[in-house]
Amino acid sequence: MLKTQEIATRKGGKLKQRRKNLIFVLCMLAIPFANFLVFWLWPNFRSILIAFEVPTIEGYTLFNFERFFKELSSDVMGPRIWKMIDNSFLMFFVNTFVSLPMVLFMSYVLFKKVAGYKVYRVLFYLPSILGGTVMTQIFKSMLMTGGPIEQILDMMHIPLDDITRYTGLLGSPETGIWMMVIYTLWTGVGINMIMFTGAMNRVPQDLFESARLDGVGFFREFFNIIMPLVWPTVTTMVVFSMVGIFSNAGLVMLLAPDNDSTWNIGYYILKYTLGANTTVTKIDGFSYPAAIGLIFTFVNLPLVFGMKALCDKVSKNVEY
């Protein structure tokens, strides 16, 4: 009888402890779940509805979508919008096919602990440590009219046209977008290098010792061992870059918001959204930029899944 009571008491205690644990878990999940509902699910759902609304028309309509495609095919806005699309793809190409391979190889060089690797690591991480706003201001001061870069070009007898000398290299229609490309290459090292170095440090050392005994060299080790083993990290970063291809607006806003030759689709949407209550765009409200965002979301979806499938075909995920 006593044993039965002890067993029942123990079961009751376990049930109470499980209930307490469940209540604790639910309380801990309540805040992030509420945050997800309030700040992600509802705004995104509402933005879809707003895309079909027009302040001057009752009910839902396709007016905003028709307007965008008319502007896209017009002689006035069409070339500007296509230029923004080109800039979006250009920055994606630079991030994915120039900066990413470069950072991957640099991470491997530091991983091999070449001479002075600690100094190089600090130099590469420095732009990330200082922060985007600080780095953009430093970069803008270097490229401003009469700045150090212009003085260096003059010393090298490299001619600049009058517009570039007046607006600076970032403000010029000819050089603005390429200065942003250089900035992307300059500052896109730190965080990516941390990701790649972390992935390389997880590779078993037995593989490197075995490769060394087999006479595997520096470059062969990089392509035949490192690349396949860190490929899941590469795939993740490529997909993230593709996801943001039509939404990255911060770089344009911080570097060259007044030079429309540097605008991309992300900044075009942001500019319309920020001006939704001004006298110029008040008639549109938030509906027109919401429609543009929805259009490019549908354009981007197959690109993201296609890029993911392509990366998975290039190299299969290796577990180690």
Residues 13 and 129 in one domain: no
Q: State the sign of the Cα–Cα–Cα–Cα dihedral 111, 112, 113, 118.
A: negative
Q: For residue 2, is pLDDT > 50?
A: no
The rounded mean pLDDT for the chain is 84
Q: Are 190 and 221 in contact (CB under 8 A)?
A: no
Highest mean pLDDT among 80-94, 128-142, 144-158, 171-185: 80-94
Residues 105 and 18 in one domain: no
In this predicted structure, what is the pLDDT of residue 279?
47
Q: Which positions ≥6 away from 306 have C-beta within 8 Å?
A: none
The DSSP letter of residue 56 is: T
* Residues pairing with 54 in the sheet: 57
In this predicted structure, what is the pLDDT of residue 72?
92
Q: Are 125 and 197 in contact (CB under 8 A)?
A: no
Residue range(s) defining the domain that contains residue 13: 2-51
Q: Which two tokens stand for residue 244?
A: 């943001």
Residues 89 and 47 in one domain: no
Residues 234 and 154 in one domain: yes
Mind listing the pLDDT tens digit for each residue in 213-251? Answer: 888 888 888 888 888 889 988 998 999 899 889 988 888
How much is the pTM?
0.82
Q: Are 57 and 294 in contact (CB under 8 A)?
A: no
Q: How confident is residue 159, by pLDDT bands cut at 50, 70 and 90?
A: confident
Stretch 181-194: mean pLDDT:
82
Residues of the chain by 3-state class (helix, strand, coil), percent to 5 = 75, 0, 25
Residues 12 and 138 in one domain: no
Mind listing the pLDDT tens digit for each residue in 65-104? Answer: 999 999 999 998 999 999 999 999 999 999 999 999 998 9
CA distances from 29 to 16, 38, 122, 177, 207 (A): 20, 14, 38, 44, 41
Q: Are 177 and 252 in contact (CB under 8 A)?
A: no
Residues 171 and 267 in one domain: yes
Percentage of residues in the chain having pLDDT higher than 90: 23
Which residues in 70-79 are b (16+ Cβ under 10 Å) and which e? eeeeeeeeee
Mind listing the pLDDT tens digit for each residue in 258-274? Answer: 888 999 999 999 888 88
Residues 38 and 79 in one domain: no
Residue 59 lies in a domain: no
Q: For residue 122, is pLDDT > 80?
A: no
Q: Which positions ≥6 away from 94 have C-beta within 8 Å?
A: 181, 184, 185
Stretch 153-182: mean pLDDT:
85
Tokens 């803008």 belong to residue: 140
In this predicted structure, what is the pLDDT of residue 155?
87
Q: Which of 302, 292, 279, 290 is nearest to 45 (CA)?
A: 290
Q: Which of 124, 236, 262, 142 is nearest to 190 (CA)?
A: 124
The DSSP letter of residue 263 is: -
Residues 46 and 79 in one domain: no
Residue 66 lies in a domain: no
Find how far residue 307's CA is from the centre of its chain.
Answer: 15
Phi, psi of 54 (to 5 degrees): -135, 130
* Residues pairing with 57 in the sheet: 54
In this predicted structure, what is the pLDDT of residue 204?
84
Mind listing the pLDDT tens digit for each residue in 16-71? Answer: 778 888 888 888 889 889 999 998 889 888 889 989 988 777 888 899 999 999 99
Residues 79 and 141 in one domain: yes
In terms of C-beta density within 10 A (0-12 exposed, 13-18 middle, 19 or more buried), how is residue 261 classed?
middle
Residues 113 and 17 in one domain: no
In this predicted structure, what is the pLDDT of residue 301?
92
CA distances from 154 to 138, 139, 150, 157 (A): 20, 19, 6, 5
Q: For residue 319, is pLDDT > 80?
A: no
In this predicted structure, what is the pLDDT of residue 294?
92
Residues 82 and 13 in one domain: no
For 54, the 3-state DSSP assignment is: strand
In this predicted structure, what is the pLDDT of residue 8?
57
Q: For residue 280, is pLDDT > 50?
A: no
Which CATH number characterizes residue 169's domain?
1.10.3720.10
Domain count within the chain:
2
Q: How confident is residue 302, by pLDDT bands cut at 50, 70 and 90?
A: very high
Radius of gyration of the chain (CA): 27
